[in-house]
Structure 1
Amino acid sequence: MSSTESPSVPAASVLPRVAPVRVGEGERMRSVRLPGVTLTVRSRPPAREGLEPALFVHGLGGSSQNWSLLMAALDGTVDSEAVDLPGFGDSPPPDDGDYSVTGHARAVIRHLDAAGRGPVHLLGNSLGGAVSTRVAAVRPDLVRTLTLVSPALPELRVQRSAVPTALLGVPGVAALFNRFTREWTAEQRVRGVTALCYGDPTTVTPEAFGYAVEELERRLRLPYFWDAMTRSARGIVDAYTLGGQQGLWRQAERVLAPTLLVYGGRDQLVGFRMAAKAARSFRDSRLLSLPDAGHVAMMEYPELVARAFRELLAESAVPGATDAEN
């Protein structure tokens, strides 16, 4: 295993769209029908020909829009796509109702196989980090490099602030929570999520906050919203308990791709202390520590994460990396 640490930085068929979604400047959206699942994919037109493909995978309760800032920061570096996992964003539920980490990984693999874009630079956050780890372990042919932002890998001692999220996976808890919070407005819910996920919630712009409220209001009206949330949360908990070759840490050790690990010092969902274990487990890893970041460093510090990603490409001697700086 080789592990280098970056200096800590201070503070396939296309379907018509069926639901509104916020599309950032220069972004495009499409729906892709695959066996057993339909995925919504967000993309940016490549800045030039010949850029290598990248795929971004969001976390629990998120969507492809979580990656818009980082995708824009990587214009000229990679040809970017971000996927809405089944049941999230604009993707409908999977046909088989499988929201496990393996189920989500299967959806990502089906998309990559159908698109023929692999091997890709695969980037995942939180649940998406666990999903991406599994993809890289079982299908190394599809992954050129791996970047994990606060990946949801098993912790023996879960942070107290992460317990409510884990409890969503317990049967009946989501319904109970929904009943007790029925009077909460979407704005109150978004404010709570922002406080949980950001190192400094005051950095969220009014425009971004307003969009998050609109999006949550839309998603709360979907009949499968809580089912997707609870089953995906249960999938994370179940993945934590798996042993043997299916264990996520064991699969991390099997990853061959050069790996960038990004951990936030103010992360309330994934313990910062797990960064050292992750750096030891991924055989070819480098670590970016962001002491002031929370759980979504790619949204709080997109330029810093982009710089570390470009360094990953350069250190890994990935073709085209020398032309990555904008």
Structure 2
Amino acid sequence: MKPATLWPDQLLPAHSVPPPWPGRKVRLDGLVTYVRETPATGPDAEPALYVHGLGGSSQNWTDLAGLLADRLDGQAIDLPGFGRSEPGQRYTVPVFAQRVIRWIEHSGRGAVHLFGNSLGGAISVRVAALRPDLVRTLTLVSPALPFLDFRRSLQGRMLPLLAIPQGERLAAWRLAQVAPEVMAKEVMEACVADLSRICDQRRREALEEIQVRYQAEHHAAAYVRTFRGLVSSFLRSYLPGSGSLWRMAGAVQAPTLVVGGRQDRLVDVRVAPQTARVIPDSRLLMLDGVGHVAQLEVPRLVARAVVGLLTETG
């Protein structure tokens, strides 16, 4: 593990607030996956794929993908049951990872620079470990790798739902009681340390995303079942066997950047440094005053570290 290298800020594209990148629905293996495209602005751009976290969507990558468009030809997918993708039958890290692998294969662009935030980070670690031929570099933003002290996460409050039969029904009922504006505010406060960094346009878009979720009957079930699958993967990681996410992290061959926020309220802040220690060829960037979604809160800082990784690895 070594410190991340930061590319000079003045060499990044000028500051802008792009709208969400255009998207399309693609039927793959009988299931519709929604993908947003960030067209490359440079002639030598290489393929990249962005994977969001629990409850997120492809929109979470709008700013970072735009800042990297001169180097990366970006795609961001909505995982099954989230954003505008159709629901799946199972919601586990292995199932999501297989979906990402199938998408990379289906897109026919070859190996990608793979990005994952939170749950997307856990998924991306599994993809990189199982299919090193598909991953050029790996960037993990607050990766949700296993930790057992759920007092260090606001999502620990959801644990009782997992013990209730059909707890997704209770989650759906609670969603129906909370106005979309209130839910959007709660989500933003949980994910972002300094809300002043989030512009009005991004706040409006976050509200629109919440409204899309409210219209999807499957969303509450997908959220609870995915959380259950993530917790199960945490527990299995401390048992013998090949399915441990920590053991998989140790098998990652791709040059890796790990970004963590010291004010992360959803993933134990000790996980990012531990991830960087376990992955053999890793760089670590810990950010003071930043929360769970650094790519949303401080996208230029994250972009500088990514370009540093890309420059270093050629």
Task: Report the TM-score, using the length of structure 1 for normalisation.
Answer: 0.87
Q: How far did 1:90 drift? A: 0.8
Q: Does 1:231 align with 2:225?
A: yes
Q: Does 1:5 align with 2:37?
A: no
Cα distance in 1 between the residues matched to 2:133 and 2:51: 18
Q: How far did 1:314 drift? A: 1.7
Alignment of 1:248-263 (within 5 A): 248-263=245-260
Structure 2 equivalent of residue 277 of structure 1: 274
Structure 2 equivalent of residue 33 of structure 1: 27
* Structure 1 gap ranges (5+): 9-22, 319-326
Q: Does 1:73 align with 2:67?
A: yes
Structure 1 equivalent of residue 104 of structure 2: 112
Cα distance in 2 between the residues matched to 1:45 and 1:223: 32
Q: How far did 1:178 drift? A: 3.9
Q: How far did 1:167 drift? A: 4.6
Q: Does 1:61 align with 2:55?
A: yes
CA separation of 1:39 and 1:167: change in aligned 2, threshold 3 A: farther
* Structure 2 gap ranges (5+): 7-16
Amino-acid identity (%): 44
Question: Which of 155, 162, 165 matches 1:162?
Answer: 155
Cα distance in 1 between the residues matched to 2:187 and 2:123: 22
Alignment of 1:79-228 (within 5 A): 79-94=73-88, 97-158=89-150, 159-170=152-163, 171-180=165-174, 182-228=176-222
| Contact 2:4–2:308, Cα closer than 8 Å, also in 1 | no
Q: How far did 1:210 drift? A: 2.2
Q: How far did 1:239 drift? A: 0.9
Cα distance in 2 between the residues matched to 1:89 and 1:144: 26
Cα distance in 2 between the residues matched to 1:237 and 1:289: 24
Q: How far did 1:201 drift? A: 2.2
Cα distance in 1 between the residues matched to 2:39 and 2:266: 33
Q: Does 1:247 align with 2:272?
A: no
Aligned residues: 299
Cα distance in 1 between the residues matched to 2:49 and 2:154: 29
CA separation of 1:56 and 1:180: change in aligned 2, threshold 3 A: closer
CA separation of 1:7 and 1:47: change in aligned 2, threshold 3 A: closer
Q: How far did 1:117 drift? A: 1.5
